[in-house]
Amino acid sequence: MAKYTQEERQAWAARRRRSTEEVVAVCASNPAIQPHARIVGSWVWVEFPDKPGRAVLAWLRFEGFHWSSNRQAWQHPCGVFRPHARSHDPRSTFGQVPIDITDTSGHDDRIFDQQAERIGLL
């Protein structure tokens, strides 16, 4: 039996094709992600100082991010798919731009735990 349905795979693929602006907006709406998210070239990367909780990891996977063990970062291609750049670090080529959000007060991680449970990620 397949782990994911065809519809779930198609939805995930559609989330991987989102534009950089759309991915930035999604990341900015999540206070657990926003402080750690950076724009690198056309991609969005999320780098945590420590391993995040299960709900955050589930959220990243659901939104179309993948883990790069080479770069120790969660990456979203934002619809830009290129051959692997193993010989250099894109951060040195493109730089990094933090994702800013005006106000994150009043939010806590419980909201995202509840969302992850509701959509079956936990």
Residue 21 and residue 62: Cα distance in Å, rounded?
18
The verdict on residue 43 lying in a domain is yes
CA dist 37 and 64 (Å) reads: 14
| Structural domain range at position 75 | 6-80+89-118
Q: Which residues make Cβ contacts (< 8 Å) with residue 50, sequence separation at least 6?
A: none
Residue by residue, pLDDT tens for the chain (122 residues) are: 468 899 998 998 899 999 999 999 999 999 999 999 999 988 999 999 999 999 999 999 999 999 999 899 999 999 877 666 566 677 776 777 787 744 444 444 554 455 455 545 45
Our count of domains for the chain comes to 1
φ, ψ for residue 82 (rounded to 5)?
Answer: -130, 165
1 is a domain residue:
no
For residue 65, tell me if it sits in a domain.
yes
60 is a domain residue? yes
Residue 89's pLDDT is 73
Please state, in angstroms and rounded to a whole number, the distance separating the CA atoms of residues 45 and 58: 16
Task: Copy the structure tokens of residue 14.
Answer: 């559609």
pTM score, whole prediction = 0.69
